[in-house]
Amino acid sequence: MKKSGSTLIELLIYMVVVLLFFSIILPNSRIWMERGISISEVNRVKNSIRYARFLSFLKDGKVEVRVFPKDVKIVSNREIIKKSSLNFVRIVGSRYLAFSKGVPYVSGALRFFLGTSFIAEIRVTPVVGKINLAWKW
């Protein structure tokens, strides 16, 4: 008579293999998720700067990008046009960028950190207004 099924030792071996698999995968997945979210936040700030530059063409006036610890605001004539929140990245550098007719009259660089590690830099060049994003991973 043939018995189908597993012994207790086989089940324990399966459980150990599965637990080892999850102990390796789960910590790395948290790091991957944080990295993905921080990439999207850096790109959101870059797109906000591009949008402000574009609006300065359209409105034929001054458009400012104000960077705060938890959000980024696009302001024109003391009116908030767009607001984006930041949750994971920490920003160091120019907290204020401004454009007039597509040309930056206040330019600078923003450096992004995830925890203590430096991940990216957005630099707005004076006169030309080119927006450069450099990843440091």
Beta bridge partners of 74: 65, 82
- 1 lies in some domain: no
Q: Which two tokens stand for residue 39?
A: 């990439």
- Asked if the structure places residue 102 within a domain, the reply is yes
Find the DSSP H helices in 4-111. Answer: 8-59
pTM for this model (two decimals): 0.80
| Max Cα distance, the chain (Å) | 89
CATH code of the domain containing 113: 3.55.40.10
Dihedral in degrees, nearest 10, Cα atoms 26, 28, 31, 32: -100
- Give the pLDDT of residue 25: 82
Residue 42 burial class via C-beta count within 10 angstroms: exposed 0-12, middle 13-18, buried 19 and up: buried
Per-residue pLDDT 10s for the chain (137 aa) are 566 677 888 899 999 999 998 888 888 888 888 889 999 999 999 999 999 999 998 887 899 999 988 899 999 988 999 998 888 888 998 889 999 988 898 999 999 998 889 999 999 998 888 999 999 87
How many domains would you assign to the chain?
Answer: 1
CA-to-CA distance for 90 and 63, rounded, in angstroms? 23
